[in-house]
Structure 1
Amino acid sequence: MVLRTHGLVVGHDRSPACGPVDVALERGDVLSVVGDNGAGKSTLLRTVLGLLEPVGGRVEVLGRAVDEREAWFRAAVASVLDTEAFIPGVTAREHLLLVARGHATPGPEGVVDDLLDRFGILDAGSRYPASLSSGQRRRLLLAAAFARPRELMVLDEPEQRLDGDMRRALATMIRDEQARGTAVLLATHDPVLLREVGAPVLVVGDRCVVVHAQDAADRLAGDRG
């Protein structure tokens, strides 16, 4: 089992935001997470990553209690949150190379060039991240998560600042991860991404339930309308 939560209640300062959540992701499983603003999507993902303490229950990755300080956890889990973190003083391509080499990715140069191309930032590879647009920086953050080995990928609203074509391309990459046996947990507000990924959807709030991707996408599209 890659990810399991047992009666997990998440929140801040011991004040619950959502839960309990009971999920089990095996290799190749994908679970999308949706909910209203403030319902606890990001809080759930941060708790899974060990960045927040659970209010109640527990979370396990690869059968162990989560501890983001441990080398085994950092080696197994790739994540993209709503914060930007780039290695200072290096170009976009050099940043990805350092990530890939630091995680012993086979053939790092080929992997990095392919990712720069797939994310549409190949021409920006020689530039420093600070000089990139917000959309280009978002693509670079996502590329870094794909540049390293991973057994679990956690993505918080990865569609942010991506155009429609890139969102569909990202959905294809997530399905490719599924085929490779990576477990993926992603929070999103985007009905297109939900439909394209096609995975079960956990709706968080006062009551947490799992629904079909199409049903969740229709609800999100209706809310936007």
Structure 2
Amino acid sequence: MSFDLESASVTWLRGHNGSGKSTLLNCILGADEVDTGTISWKGHPRRETDAAFRGAVSAAVDSNSYFSDVSVIEHLRLIAVCNGVRGSDEAALHWCDRSGLAAVSDALPGALSSGQRQRMALAMAMIRPFELLVLDEPERHLDTEGCAWLADTLAEFVAAGRAVLAATHDSALADSIAGTTIELGQ
């Protein structure tokens, strides 16, 4: 398989369960290694330990990646501070509101619904600066309103020149933002 990701674009990975979508995303992020071939970032072999790569790529691949004793707003502040976001408190409040989590901003993750935890995971990936946003089934656990928010937000990122790579089973989401679709497992 070979493909390029361009700025201001979205690339959708589609395929049945077990076709390799999540594995491919994990290889791109450096959580897994490819058996053969290379993954390049800006013309050089990708090194997940490279600060430039880590600074340019944000990901939400697991909505269960959180600290159980840290509130929603504290998670967002932590990500903002660690990634040099100016006005981290204001940014955290903005993303709580924007992601529909303002009413539960002081709640711990264990008290959230699965949809709210997914929104938190997405907001944690979106609050920080990035050139490439990598998402694994970002629509998972989201209701209709959440999917609309997700589609609008991704469209804004693409319009602002950022690239999005997302695995999805949701045809409506993939159809909502024109992009390249790669079918796996065919």
User: For this structure pair, what is the TM-score category when the shorter chain's length is used for normalisation?
Assistant: over 0.9
Distance 2:40 2:67 in 1: 29
Please list the CA deviations of residues 157-208 of structure 1 after superposition, one character each: whole Å capped at 9, or x if unmatched. 00000011211110111111111111110000001101112212111114xx
Q: CA deviation at 1:83?
A: 5.0
Could you tell me the TM-score, scaled by structure 2's length? 0.94
**Alignment size in residue pairs:** 186
SS at match of 1:120: coil
Alignment partner of 1:44 out of 24, 32, 39? 24
Letter aligned with residue 70 of structure 1: D
Distance 2:180 2:116 in 1: 29
Higher-Rg member (1/2): 1
Distance 2:19 2:68 in 1: 34
CA contact (8 A) 1:168 1:196 kept: no
Superposition CA RMSD, Å: 1.4
Match of 1:121 in 2: 101
Structure 1 segments (4+ residues) deviating >3 Å: none
Could you tell me the TM-score, scaled by structure 1's length? 0.78
Equivalences for residues 30-179 of structure 1 within 5 A: 30-82=10-62, 84-179=64-159
Q: Which runs of 5+ in 1 are unaligned?
A: 1-20, 207-225
Equivalences for residues 172-211 of structure 1 within 5 A: 172-206=152-186
Distance 1:66 1:130 in 2: 35
Please list the CA deviations of residues 47-68 of structure 1 after superposition, one character each: whole Å capped at 9, or x if unmatched. 1111111122111122332222
Q: CA deviation at 1:42?
A: 0.8
Match of 1:13 in 2: none
Distance 1:34 1:47 in 2: 16
Greater relative CO, 1 or 2 (CA 8 Å, sep 6+)? 2
SS at match of 2:39: strand
CA contact (8 A) 2:62 2:121 kept: no
Match of 1:9 in 2: none
Distance 2:144 2:178 in 1: 17
